Amino acid sequence: MAMETMTRVNEQMDVAAKKPMAVQPGVARMRELTPAQRRAVMFAQQQVLKAQAAKKAKDQRQAVRERMWDEDSPSCKPTAAAEPVVAEEEPREFSLRGAIGHVLRELRTRDRRTLREVSEKAGVSLGYLSEVERGQKEASSELLSSIADALGVSTSRMLRMVADYLDSVEG
């Protein structure tokens, strides 16, 4: 038992006798790590960088949405953030289907409603509504009418908004 006590006292003395390593700012103590630990640290650092980049992108998207929602203008012309970016040397054709989808999405996001909420109220499947908003599916007049009603606008108002959008992007 006396030997055990002496060993503990010696260990404590050894710890006190060692000087702490000077840590340089921004540099981890990589010399003390095994290769597996080094890989784990590098992986963790990469994950942190990816998370920071994702947060920055999310914040930028949220700022664009808030700018769209804060517009209180009665005219429903598309915002600068909502207009498609088009290269000048490459003229792009706009389809009626795409314009309808753009206006429907703009109406939905302005009211801060989800696809699920609108699809349930309109009696349309979520996937189909998503495809209509992306301009991938042609919607019938009855379907457009029910979606417009679910969004709280008349069909004629929604079609006027589509015409205004097409006017703004065509010239």
- What stretch of H or E contains 108? helix 96-110
Confirm if 146 and 104 have CB atoms less than 8 A apart: no
Least confident span in 42-56, 78-92, 144-158: 78-92
* Confidence (pTM): 0.47
Q: How far is residue 103's CA from residue 164's CA, in Å, rounded to a whole number?
A: 10
Q: What is the CB neighbour count within 10 angstroms for residue 78?
A: 18
Q: How confident is the model at residue 88 (pLDDT cuts 50, 70, 90)?
A: very low
Examine the pLDDT at 61 and tell me if it is beyond 70: yes
Examine the pLDDT at 89 and tell me if it is beyond 80: no
- Comparing C-alpha atoms, which of 71, 68, 139, 142 is closest to residue 109? 68
Confirm if 167 and 139 have CB atoms less than 8 A apart: no
- What stretch of H or E contains 24? none
Helix (H, G, I), strand (E, B) or coil at 49: helix
Confirm if 129 and 100 have CB atoms less than 8 A apart: no
User: Who has greater pLDDT, 79 or 138?
Assistant: 138
Give the pLDDT mean for 41-57. 90
User: Who has greater pLDDT, 91 or 134?
Assistant: 134
Q: How confident is the model at residue 57 (pLDDT cuts 50, 70, 90)?
A: confident
Residue 25 is given by DSSP the state T
Give the pLDDT mean for 146-163. 93
Q: How far is residue 101's CA from residue 99's CA, in Å, rounded to a whole number?
A: 5
Q: Which two tokens stand for residue 58?
A: 């999310």
Give the pLDDT mean for 133-146. 92
Confirm if 8 and 16 have CB atoms less than 8 A apart: no
Give the pLDDT mean for 11-30. 53
